[in-house]
Structures are given as C-alpha cells and as structure tokens.
Structure 1
C-alpha cells in the first residue's frame, strides 16, 4: 500500500499545473520502440508530460527491435546512434528501451515515476544560465541566444521537429493487435550551428511543414542540455 501511494504521489508530480513553469522547459528524451512490449507505459507517460509547459518530452523511436517481427514506423537509425553516444559518454555498455534521458545528463530506466519526478523537480529548481527567445514570422524564425555563463563553452544549437500525436495499428511483433498512440514523436533532429555560450548571438532559419519545432542548446559531445524553447 505504501509503495502504491508513493507511486501515485510521483505520478501526481508529473501532471500539469502542479508547479510553476520555468522559462526553459526540462527536456526529457524517451527512447522507445513499437517492437518493445515493455514500452507502452512509458509511451503513455509521455502523453502526460506533453501536457506540461515546463517539460519538453521527445519520443525517439529506435530500430534495433525491428528484427523481432515489426518494423517501427517512426524509427530512425540516428536515434539509436544518439542513444549509443549517450551510453558511451556515461560509461554504460548497453542501450535499452524504454529509457529516458533527462536534460542530457541522467537516465531513467523503464517507467520509474518517482525518479523522473525528482529529476524534473531538481532541474526546474536549477538556475538556467542560457536564455532563448524564438520569434516566428511565417516560415522564418529568429532565435536570440543570451548567456549568463562565466566563460566560453562549446555548445551546439539543435532544431527538433516532432509530431504532437501519432497513432498506429501494430499487426506483428510483441505488440501485435494493439493500436498505439505516441506523443511528441521526433521526425528530425539537426544541428543549426555552434555557439560559444558567452557572446550574445542571433540565428535565423526557416521552419516549414506541420510538425512542431523546438530548439535545444546542449554541450557538445552530448553533454548537458543548457536550455530549450518551443517555437510557436
């Protein structure tokens, strides 16, 4: 009973409106697969996180479970490559699903709502040293980057495109016969450029299509995420 109560409390912390939003959302990357029978609870959790303004959850579908019998329709080999790079940086020898990476730093195994809630709360309480402002006019976005860092750093400015909701009926593999709904499915993740994280900088780029967009500024080499901003 105590364990159940604790889980419910943790889940409550993941719901919108529990705490005030910060200027930069907490970035949560979920590595998942349509061929993974243990992934649906994590996929469902991402829908809850997507309702929050202070969290930017992103679902990166991987392809290394395709051999089981179902080819993930949203998978991209670059997602598994990114996950492997995170593992290498952290000294982990294995990659798996579902896995959540919070702000490019901590990993959450499976659906550990208690740990995830604690990490989100912790990162929301941290001072954000990088300030991002994105103004969109038509297809053109002007991004202003301002820093409160004490010295230069090697940062990368990344543009992420994602679909808010994608549904699919799975006919083979471990989830055969199920219709699944996925939140914030990443369709593209590209580097716009580098930034020293010290001088005030402005970037201009185009965003087309129906997918949502966000900017993620991260330490080079898949280090800590410094800040993020949604593009409306």
Structure 2
C-alpha cells in the first residue's frame, strides 16, 4: 500500500471513529433534572443558581418549573402556571412527601433533593440511574417513539417548551423584594401529546413558538419514572 493510500485509509478510519463517537453521544440517555421553584420563595435562589451550574453538562436536560402556590405572599410569579404546580403535586406521593415545597429538584422522575446546597444536584444525578426506555427522536415535524416495554402497560408523552439559557428576573414585592433572580431553561408550556403503550408510535410535533426549545418526555403516569427524553 502506498503512503497516500495509507493516509486515506487512516483518514477514513478516523472519520468512522468520530461518527461512532457522535452517534454514541446522541444515543446517550438524558438525565432529566426538574427544579420546582418560585420567585416568591426566599429559599429558592440558591437552587436556581445550582441548576445553572448543571444545565450545560453532557447528558443533562435541566428544566425550571415555576409554581404558583407562593403567589399569595405578595409577588405573582411571572413564569408560574397551575399545570406546573400540578406536575409537582403528582410527584409528592411516590417520593414519600405529604405535599409540594420549594425548592425541590426531581431527577428522572423518581428521586428528589432540595437542591439548595452546593453539589446536591450533581450528587443526585450521579446516584440516579437512567431508566432504560424506548428510543425517542424529534425531527421532520414529528415525535418518533420506538417499540419496547411500557411499565404498567402505558406511559404519558409530554411536550415541553422552554427558553434555553439564563434569564434575570427583577422581583418588586414579596420575600425577594429588590432582588434580581436568575432562572435557567424556564419552562413556558407543558402539554400531554398522548400515550405510549409499547408499540412504535409517532405524534405530530407542532412548531415551537419563537424563542422556545422543544423537549419530549415519555413518563410513567402519576408522577412516575421518566423512561425517555429528547430535545432539539
């Protein structure tokens, strides 16, 4: 083999290795980290800051869900929605809690921590196994879910719209009066697309509103484990 042929062969092998590495990274299951927070909660800013630290880690999908039950303290959360509060409420019985509280970080739908202390979120991510679930991809205007075993025979398919990055929110009243609070990957929309029963399934994926990123979660009902997650 000539020197030129050897170089071409080595170059081809390098490209294949790189492609394999990229495919493996793309196939890596995501750890879904959900922070339930409120702009009216004086205990929440440290957890907000800790979520910012993990949001860009490989294999992590970090999401901020702003809840509404502290609005009565004098500041109406500018991102709060009742459906986000209800999502948190559904987690509490399986996690062994009597009711919702802030801040709370839930990882992969089946383990939680307050998240305000340094390193808490990172430790929970490392300690929480990613549940083996179906293949999940977004593209060509649809959500594609592969065949597999659906625990209990059925899972929910959730469409999440969030603003990727960090936004600073000035708070004029309530417990955080005068503070400007950072929020990472704020969720603006949560919609149930349908169900997955173990058969290969596809759903139409509506175009995202301007400025928002899409994530899809396949999750056991009633605040159960997240079986698969994908984002674009």
**TM-score, scaled relative to structure 1:** 0.81
Residue 169 of structure 2 is matched in structure 1 by 168
Residue 102 of structure 2 is matched in structure 1 by 97
- Helix, strand or coil for the counterpart of 1:156? strand
Q: Check if 1:52 corresponds to 2:53.
A: no
Q: How many angstroms apart in 1 are the aligned matches of 2:150 and 2:159?
A: 25
Residue 9 of structure 1 is matched in structure 2 by none
**TM-score, scaled relative to structure 2:** 0.81
Structure 2 CA distance for partners of 1:113 and 1:22, relative to 1, 3 Å: farther
Deviation for aligned residue 1:113:
4.6
Q: Contact between 2:50 and 2:115, CA under 8 Å: does it hold in 1?
A: no
Residue 205 of structure 1 is matched in structure 2 by 205
- Supply the RMSD in Å over aligned alpha carbons: 2.1
Q: Contact between 2:45 and 2:182, CA under 8 Å: does it hold in 1?
A: no
Residue 133 of structure 1 is matched in structure 2 by 137
Q: Where does 1:74-89 land on structure 2 (aligned, <5 Å)? A: 74-89=79-94
Deviation for aligned residue 1:33:
0.6
Q: How many angstroms apart in 1 are the aligned matches of 2:135 and 2:156?
A: 14
Unaligned 5+ residue runs, structure 2? 1-24
Deviation for aligned residue 1:129:
2.7
Residue 45 of structure 2 is matched in structure 1 by 40
Q: Contact between 2:74 and 2:174, CA under 8 Å: does it hold in 1?
A: yes
Highest CA radius of gyration, 1 or 2?
2
Q: Which has the higher strand share?
A: 1
Q: How many angstroms apart in 1 are the aligned matches of 2:144 and 2:51?
A: 29
Deviation for aligned residue 1:179:
1.5
Residue 26 of structure 1 is matched in structure 2 by 31
Unaligned 5+ residue runs, structure 1? 1-19
Q: Number of aligned pairs?
A: 206
- Helix, strand or coil for the counterpart of 1:206? coil
